[in-house]
Amino acid sequence: MKLNIDSARLRSDLTTLCSFGGRFAGSTSELQAREFLKQRLAAITHSPITIHQVPYNGWARESWNLKLLTPKSRTLHSHPLVRSPSTPPNGIEAEVIDLGRGTLEDFDAHRQEIPGRFVLVRHEYMFSTTHIHRRVKYAWALERGAAGFLIGCHLPGDLVVTGSSGGEEIPAFGISREGAAALAATANGYPRIHATVQSRTAVRNAENLIAEIPGQTDQWIVICAHYDGHDLAQSAIDNGTGVAAGLAIAGALAAADKPPRLGARVIFFTIEEWGLLGSRAYVDALSEVERHKISLVVNLDSLVGGSKLTALTSGFAELNRFVASTGLPIATHLPMMANSDHYNFARHGIPSLRLVSGFNEPESDLRYLLTSGDRLERIEPAELTAATKIAASLVATALAHESHIAPHQR
By the criterion CB under 5 A, which residues form the site for Zn ion? Answer: 238-239, 301
Q: Which is nearer to Zn ion, 238 or 361 (CB)?
A: 238
Question: Which one-letter DSSP state was computed for residue 82?
Answer: B
**Is the CA virtual torsion 245, 53, 168, 59 positive or negative?**
positive
Q: Which is nearer to Zn ion, 238 or 374 (CB)?
A: 238
Q: Which is nearer to Zn ion, 81 or 399 (CB)?
A: 81
Q: Which is nearer to Zn ion, 106 or 124 (CB)?
A: 124
Q: How far is the CB of 229 from Zn ion (least distance, A)?
A: 8
Cβ–Cβ under 8 Å, residues 226 and 239: yes
How many C-beta atoms lie closer than 10 Å to residue 12's C-beta? 12
* 401: Cα separation from own chain's centroid: 29
Residue 49: name the closest of 31, 61, 37, 66 by CA. Answer: 37
Bridge-based pairing state of the strands 309-312 and 330-333: parallel
d(CA 286, CA 33): 25
Q: Which is nearer to Zn ion, 76 or 300 (CB)?
A: 300
Helices 241-255 and 381-399, axial angle in degrees (round to 10): 50
d(CA 288, CA 276): 20
Q: How far is the CB of 140 from Zn ion (least distance, A)?
A: 23
Q: How far is the CB of 213 from Zn ion (least distance, A)?
A: 24
Q: How far is the CB of 157 from Zn ion (least distance, A)?
A: 22
Bridge-based pairing state of the strands 92-98 and 50-70: unpaired
d(CA 133, CA 102): 10
Q: Which is nearer to Zn ion, 230 or 265 (CB)?
A: 230
Q: How far is the CB of 226 from Zn ion (least distance, A)?
A: 6
Three-state DSSP class for 365? helix
Helix (H) or strand (E) holding 61: strand 50-70
Q: How far is the CB of 343 from Zn ion (least distance, A)?
A: 12
Q: How far is the CB of 239 from Zn ion (least distance, A)?
A: 4
- φ and ψ at residue 274, rounded to 5 degrees: -105, 25
Residue 350: name the closest of 395, 294, 405 by CA. Answer: 294
Question: Distances in Å between the alpha carbon of 394 and those of 104, 127, 296?
Answer: 39, 21, 11
Q: Which is nearer to Zn ion, 177 or 226 (CB)?
A: 226
Give me the half-sphere count of Cα atoms (radius 13 Å) on the Cβ side of residue 43.
9
Q: Which is nearer to Zn ion, 30 or 238 (CB)?
A: 238
Cβ–Cβ under 8 Å, residues 378 and 313: no
With a CB cutoff of 8 Å and minimum separation 6, the contacts of 201 are 57, 58, 59, 60
- φ and ψ at residue 337, rounded to 5 degrees: -120, 110
Q: Which is nearer to Zn ion, 30 or 301 (CB)?
A: 301
Q: How far is the CB of 266 from Zn ion (least distance, A)?
A: 17
Q: Which is nearer to Zn ion, 164 or 313 (CB)?
A: 164
Helix (H) or strand (E) holding 212: strand 192-213
Q: Which is nearer to Zn ion, 253 or 300 (CB)?
A: 300
Q: How far is the CB of 352 from Zn ion (least distance, A)?
A: 15
How many C-beta atoms lie closer than 10 Å to residue 56's C-beta? 17
Q: How far is the CB of 275 from Zn ion (least distance, A)?
A: 12
Q: How far is the CB of 68 from Zn ion (least distance, A)?
A: 32
